[in-house]
Structure 1
Amino acid sequence: MKYLKFLITICFLGLLFSCGGDDDICESGEGTPRMKVSFRNAETGKEKTIDSLYVAVDYGSGKVELGKQTAITSRVIPLRVDSSPYTDIYFRLTLKGAESKVRVNYTTRSTYVSPGCGIKLNYENLNSVLDPATTTPVKSIEAGQNFIENEDKTNLYLLF
């Protein structure tokens, strides 16, 4: 009986001390980064605040509305994480207004982060193209940083 209590105590202490840190949550920003889009005035080239912006993205199964944001100078947009080499993004200034389509082409590189976060994608060789048939409301685009490793730098400028 004495040995049984000792064995149970050792097992309990072993279980107690074997519990490590909480690796289930990826909360330090180590996941797949999103693309940062900023806005400029087409005439002056200066930063512009957009009163309202509606964004939709085609992730391969049709357009998904990302919703409306108001009074913004930039927005982060998640790109596709499958094997597709591009993502189509649609921009509108009003709910039922004209829509501009931008195709973002890229190559991806996978990086292992941790057991909780898994693998993240880094996007490289970004090349954005504005569909010439949809130049309202976005008049033109300018390239920013041509790779995405985090969400700090602007990758695409939309000129309104």
Structure 2
Amino acid sequence: MKSLKFLFALCFICLLFSCGGDDDICESGEGTPRMKFSFINSLTGNEKTLDSLYVAVDYGSGKVQLGGEAKITSRIIPLRVDNSPYTDVYFRTTNLGAESRVRVNYTTKAVYVSPGCGIKKTYENLNSILTTSASAPVKSLKDGQNFIENEDKTNLYLLF
């Protein structure tokens, strides 16, 4: 019985010491930041709430649908993390409607964070090009912050 208690205590102590440190988990926003898009009314210049917005992104292997959201004033979208100097983002206001393509050009820099998080990418020198047709929902672009360090500030304004 005494050896059973000793074995139980030894297992419990080993279990406590086998738990990793705080830097094993990357939870506090230290990962690669995403790009924030906000929306503006093209006539008034004021912030606009969209009834619905559907987004797709080309990450290098074709378009990936990120889905739709309703009643939004901004959207945060992840960019490519490979060595590509651009990401194509597609916006629609209806599920099967006309879409606008925004090509976001940038330079990347790799920054070491921790053993658990590894390396994160930061994006600098952002500039965007809008490709639309006459029926496309996005009318023009307005630049925001031209680097992505975190997800707090708007990087690009879409005028609808």
TM-score range, shorter chain: 0.7 to 0.9
1:109-124 to 2 correspondence within 5 Å?
109-124=109-124
Preserved CA contact (<8 Å) 1:88 1:101 = yes
Q: Using the alignment, how far apart are the partners of 1:155 and 1:97 within structure 2?
A: 25
1:119-138 to 2 correspondence within 5 Å?
119-133=119-133, 136-138=136-138
Q: Using the alignment, how far apart are the partners of 1:119 and 1:135 within structure 2?
A: 41
> Sequence identity, in percent?
75
Q: Using the alignment, how far apart are the partners of 2:135 and 2:124 within structure 1?
A: 26
What is the CA-CA distance between 1:18 and the residue it aligns to? Answer: 7.3
Gaps spanning 5+ residues in structure 1: where? Answer: 1-8
Aligned AA (2:141): I
Structure 1 residues 105-114 or 15-24, which shifts more? 15-24
Q: Using the alignment, how far apart are the partners of 2:117 and 2:133 within structure 1?
A: 40
Aligned AA (2:73): T
The answer to whether the aligner puts 1:153 opposite 2:153 as a matched pair is yes
**TM-score, normalization by structure 1:** 0.87
Structure 1 residues 134-143 or 122-131, which shifts more? 134-143
Q: 1:142 to 1:135 in 2, by over 3 A?
A: farther
Preserved CA contact (<8 Å) 1:106 1:125 = yes
Preserved CA contact (<8 Å) 1:99 1:134 = no
Q: 1:28 to 1:44 in 2, by over 3 A?
A: same
Q: Using the alignment, how far apart are the partners of 2:134 and 2:125 within structure 1?
A: 24
Aligned AA (1:144): G
What is the CA-CA distance between 1:21 and the residue it aligns to? Answer: 1.8
**TM-score, normalization by structure 2:** 0.87
Gaps spanning 5+ residues in structure 2: where? Answer: 1-8
Superposed CA deviations along residues 20-57 of structure 1, whole A, max 9, x for unmatched, are 52433211000000000000000111000000000000
Q: Using the alignment, how far apart are the partners of 1:18 and 1:73 within structure 2?
A: 45
Preserved CA contact (<8 Å) 2:132 2:138 = no
Preserved CA contact (<8 Å) 1:103 1:129 = yes
Count, aligned residues: 152
Aligned AA (2:113): V
Q: Secondary structure at the match of 2:24?
A: coil
